[in-house]
Structure 1
Amino acid sequence: MRIRPLLVLVVLLLAGCRIDGTASPAPDGWEFVSERPCAETTASGADEFSCVTLSVPVDHARPAGEHWDVTFGVHRAEGERRGVFVTSTGGPGSSGLDLAEAYSTEFPDELWRDFDVVFFDQRGIGLSQEFRCDDTYFDYYAFVDSSSSAADRDAFAQDSTRFGEDCFAEAGVDPATAPRYATAQAVEDLEDFRQWLDAPQLILYGESYGTQYVQTYAAAHPDRVERLVLDGVVDLTTDQTAFAVQQAEGISAVLEATLARCDADPTCAAAAPGDSLADYDALLDQLADDPVTPPGGYPVDDYTLRSAASASMSDPYSREDFTEALNDALNGDVAGLDELGNGSSGPTADFSEALYLAVECQDYDFVPAGGDPRAALDDWLGVAAAAGVDDLRLSYYYGDEDCLFWPGSTTDPDFARPEPVTDPPYPVLVLNSDTDANTPFVGARAVFGRLVPDAGPADAAIIQRYGPHVIYGYGDPCVDDPVHSFVETGELPAQRVTLCTW
């Protein structure tokens, strides 16, 4: 999920002079439900937006069947509308409405004047038929890795199967609907909204998982895309085990870059003289043998150190906090590591861990249709062993194994994953940092590399050195200015690849 520094919110005027579309195109498709100020809803971050709720088919392949309510937030153009700019936030599982105002503070005045600005709650979060099982999720713990015995793997399979069943039971959702949370279903909700809004095309910005969402929409409706911005890119051609290996290798590389940066900075290096990477390794061994408990804190062991590092690699601000805590620990004060690595987390209104799994477990082919999840677990762990992920300093590899036993994981997916895009009818701007721990740079490089230069509408890439996961919106003009220009006019940077530095 995206992490940003807090930004000062601005007050925006909501122009309500135009109401677009109020009727369904067909009695068995989507239907308009209501429109009201988002300030009158439970969405906490979209007070200056208008919330539009549509009743959409649960299964878009069967539009006459059950419907769910899905809500979109729109800030209408203050002048004559020249286009519609849609933001798809990360996750999966985040509430776009709760993030709308914080994410849009960097938008220039021209964008508010000329464009309808849209954020939304994807089906399964917030105002859109929320799917949550917070008690089940936060009470559940089961772990397995490539060194686990057959008995441990059997126990994990049983625990994970029960977890999925209990999650749907707590949410009050029929497990038979599990495939309907797939991104390929969710993007059809956006298509229904485009029809209601009476917009011929959409300008799409996706961040992190949102790049998966907008690429899926663009594949299904290429003629409805005016231009596309991908920030923190997911390569849809990469299967989940390969992506997990990339993440594991990527986060370890970011840790190494972070510690090397500390050594190169006189102030950081002076705080704990020595080789930061070697000192990190030595501290891991020391805390494994002899955990330390700070006054009023919790025991700090090697797991705490790894947890603190993993939680801090997504952006440069957090990396600075980690190196400061590491230097303090090397000088005998582990309070900072305790705070970063032992901090408890619980459910928040703007994110659903259950929806994260519901989408993730449907979007990837974790178990072949009719296959054996237990055998698939052995395959999953075999990939980990072959790639050596357990020997890395950090690893994101483990975390999606519950998808092997999630309801619906052994059935046929609703839709095939989109084919690689090489010559789309819309221009594309790709954004990524070379130190992205969540969606490693290799994904952006692959997606951009498949776009054929001069074969159709132009495309370009902006790469930020030592940047965060998702690089737009931090106030760097090297990144933000060309993004704004592209969104507003379609104009791309003069160079096909632009390099920026954090």
Structure 2
Amino acid sequence: MGPRGPDLGCAVPIRRPRRAASLLVVALVAVLGLAGCAPEVVDGTIEPFTSTGGDLVGREPCPASEFECITLTVPADHRAAASPAWEVTFALRPADVEARGVLVTATGGPGSSGIALADRYTSAMDPEITDHYDLVFFDQRGIGRSEPFVCDRALSSFEEVLDASSDAGERDGYAAAAERFAGNCFAEAGVAPSDAPLFATAQAAEDLEVFRRWYGAERLVLYGESYGTQFQQAYAAAHPDRVESLVLDGVVDLQTPLRSFAAESARAYSDVLAATLAGCDAEPVCAEDGPGASAAAYDALAAELRAAPRPYDHPLADGGTEERELTLEELEGAAMASLSSPHARRQLQRALNAAAGGDELPLARLAAATAGADPETGEVAVDPSFSPALFYAVECQDYPTVPDGSTGRAELDRWLDSAAADGVAGVRLDDVYYGDLPCLFWPRGEEPVRPPAAIADPPYPLLLLTADTDPNTPAGNAQRVLERAPTDAALLVLTDGPHVLYGWGYACVDRAVTRLVTTGRLPARPVTTCTDSLAEAYVPLPPASAAGYDDPWETVDLLLAELLGPSFEAWPGTDALDLGCPAGGNAGYRITMAGAVRIALDGCAWTPGAPVDGVATVADGGTGEVTLDVTLPFAELTLSGDGNLGGTFRGERVR
């Protein structure tokens, strides 16, 4: 885990039903920039806004936070001379010492609550920033405290999927279902379909301008991650004279049309999956656990699950088991959500190796975690810090999908029939390509949909951050933005890195961001390359027998990899979590009065004959130091917070 906390492979802790996974991914992805596959260019429009607003509605401490929540009135429609007022909430943390400026962070999505992430993100910032910059996060219109757009019932009932092989009848059925879904979503949200354009990024960016004027800041330092790069570009294009400097991390190229986004991101996901599988074969420890040819094993498992789900016995916390099924949807959902960071790629490698060896539980629990589902019941929880409905509301207003004179049904045929030409037919994880199809049937206003304007040759320093293995927003996006901003701009590329780089402990990245924010200075070279590992160091799977535990340090590594795996990382900590262990016993997760995570092990076994009793503790709500005090039939082990291991192992003192 990085300084920002547990990492499930997403820059934002997105919990979502599997059916929406492709849509939520597509918002973050764009063109890989492969030779011979250059996308057409879409020109955005800077809206002629006449924004007013800025009346203070409320000012109070944000719950359990260092930030103060400030709610302002904004025009619902910044284009109108007279508009109803909406309320948008910003989170403000004054500089610890003396303010030199204001740093505004736009988080990913679209659909995430910036306020919910503010404290965690701030903990990863250099003191030079927190000492001298007022920090601002916000709930974009449509989420959290800001005019929430929510339609969970409509989302849960929209199950239809399509691909290029769908026949005319299936396409007709999808079109009708997508139209019903859109209507039901707006009805449930209590929003008139004619107001759909009010959720566009260009409108939301003007809410930030209202805040800037209210706060009295002459200029803003802007940081955007993933979809947040789209938001910050929209603001910077409309108000270039109000920007001190701009950092775009996991860059969206706003001149890439939506279908090109979808096609090249689908190829990028498949490429990173292939690299992750090949990486296991090339790494001796991973390969020893693996089936010998990881890609072939993945394809064989996918083919098996496409024909029929695989039954398995799911261990329950009460000691019993329940027969469940591993599905193709779970395999592909887990894979798609596990490719955006080295940490998540390692988890995927372990889960796939386990499944290849006949143990479906790790893959099933990884799928549940990445879908935001309870690891025991499988029920998908509603996450108040993320709105899948707002994803649709923003995505479908930011990108034109139905040209004048055409229909959603006609464009559906055009999209599906273009799969082969777009290089998507037959690739793994092609769901990404089809994820935005509901936008073909989403309500629109009276005026044509216009994408946010892209920045070009900005009058402020621009730092672009990307990784060459980012499947969400492939590196070609950042390269194209750099080419359109030839002066006072720099690109930093992290080889084998994740989607979104800042704040995860990469020194070369964090130094560059801190330097730009605090001094306005860019790296000396236009393009800088740093290096990471495609996947974190592999931790072997549990041995088949107790005799396989032959080293105390490796035993501790295994216990922590299992205890602090996907189910722990996805756990919100609001309620108790009790997990059945694969070979008997259970593990109970609780938050202590001191704010630490306490994990009580009661005969918890991953290997027959090797039950574990004792306690593990993770400080700072699950992001801090780890301690361990456990007994096994052959060992008594104590791990201190500073990393020292003591006790006995197979009759000998641990040194």
- The match for 2:245 is 227
Alpha carbons 2:93, 2:136 under 8 Å: kept: yes
Q: Give the secondary structure class of the aligned counterpart of 2:493.
A: strand
Change (3 A) 1:190 1:327: same
Separation in 1, partners of 2:153, 2:125 = 38
Question: AA paired with 1:226?
Answer: E
- The match for 2:126 is 108
Question: How far is 1:76 from its partner?
Answer: 1.4
- The match for 1:266 is 284
Q: Give the secondary structure class of the aligned counterpart of 1:391.
A: coil
Q: Give the secondary structure class of the aligned counterpart of 1:293.
A: strand
Separation in 1, partners of 2:337, 2:131 = 38
- The match for 1:62 is 80
- The match for 1:168 is 186
Question: How far is 1:152 from its partner?
Answer: 0.9
Structure 1 residue ranges (4+ consecutive) displaced by more than 6 angstroms after TM superposition: none
Alpha carbons 2:402, 2:408 under 8 Å: kept: yes
Separation in 1, partners of 2:177, 2:152 = 17
Question: Which digits, 9 at most, give the CA deviation of each residue in 1:95-151, with x for residues without a partner?
Answer: 000010011111122212211100000001111111101111122211111111111
Alpha carbons 1:373, 1:404 under 8 Å: kept: yes
Separation in 2, partners of 1:476, 1:98 = 23
Q: Give the secondary structure class of the aligned counterpart of 1:392.
A: coil
Q: Give the secondary structure class of the aligned counterpart of 2:492.
A: strand
Question: AA paired with 1:400?
Answer: D
- The match for 2:530 is 500
Question: Which digits, 9 at most, give the CA deviation of each residue in 1:164-221, with x for residues without a partner?
Answer: 0101111111111100100011101001111011111111000000000001111111
Q: Give the secondary structure class of the aligned counterpart of 2:392.
A: helix
Change (3 A) 1:291 1:135: closer
- The match for 2:441 is 405
Separation in 1, partners of 2:384, 2:419 = 34
Picking from 143, 153, 163, the partner of 1:145 is 163
- The match for 2:411 is 376
Alpha carbons 1:307, 1:340 under 8 Å: kept: no
Alpha carbons 2:199, 2:393 under 8 Å: kept: yes
Separation in 1, partners of 2:269, 2:158 = 25
Separation in 1, partners of 2:354, 2:492 = 36
**Would you tell me which structure has more helix in proportion to its own residues?**
1
Q: Write out aligned runs for 1:182-193 (5 A).
A: 182-193=200-211
Question: How far is 1:4 from its partner?
Answer: 5.9
- The match for 1:428 is 462
Question: How far is 1:238 from its partner?
Answer: 0.2
Separation in 1, partners of 2:309, 2:185 = 35
How many equivalent residue pairs? 471
Question: AA paired with 1:206?
Answer: G
Question: Which digits, 9 at most, give the CA deviation of each residue in 1:18-53, with x for residues without a partner?
Answer: xxxxxxxxx98203223423335xxx6xx1111111
Separation in 2, partners of 1:312, 1:389 = 20
- The match for 2:351 is 325
Separation in 1, partners of 2:145, 2:448 = 26
**Would you tell me which structure has more strand in proportion to its own residues?**
2
Question: Which digits, 9 at most, give the CA deviation of each residue in 1:405-425, with x for residues without a partner?
Answer: 11117x424655314x34210
Q: Give the secondary structure class of the aligned counterpart of 2:326.
A: coil
User: 1:118 and 2:118 equivalent?
Assistant: no
User: 1:339 and 2:365 equivalent?
Assistant: yes
Percent of pairs identical after alignment?
49
> Unpaired segments of 5 or more residues in structure 1?
8-26
Q: Give the secondary structure class of the aligned counterpart of 2:479.
A: helix
TM-score normalised by structure 2 residue count: 0.69
User: 1:89 and 2:123 equivalent?
Assistant: no
- The match for 1:450 is 484
Alpha carbons 2:3, 2:123 under 8 Å: kept: no
Q: Give the secondary structure class of the aligned counterpart of 1:389.
A: coil
Change (3 A) 1:414 1:180: farther
Question: How far is 1:63 from its partner?
Answer: 4.2
Picking from 240, 257, 260, the partner of 1:239 is 257
Question: How far is 1:161 from its partner?
Answer: 0.4
- The match for 1:17 is none
Change (3 A) 1:174 1:63: same
Q: Give the secondary structure class of the aligned counterpart of 1:294.
A: strand
Alpha carbons 1:3, 1:314 under 8 Å: kept: no
Q: Write out aligned runs for 1:273-284 (5 A).
A: 273-284=291-302
Q: Give the secondary structure class of the aligned counterpart of 1:464.
A: strand
Alpha carbons 1:56, 1:189 under 8 Å: kept: yes
Alpha carbons 1:37, 1:48 under 8 Å: kept: no
Question: How far is 1:331 from its partner?
Answer: 1.2
Question: AA paired with 1:446?
Answer: R
Larger radius of gyration: 2
TM-score normalised by structure 1 residue count: 0.90
Question: How far is 1:273 from its partner?
Answer: 4.7
Separation in 2, partners of 1:125, 1:301 = 32
> Unpaired segments of 5 or more residues in structure 2?
8-49, 315-322, 374-379, 533-655
Question: AA paired with 2:525?
Answer: Q
Question: Which digits, 9 at most, give the CA deviation of each residue in 1:258-317, with x for residues without a partner?
Answer: 112112211111112512112222232334345322212531244432222112112111
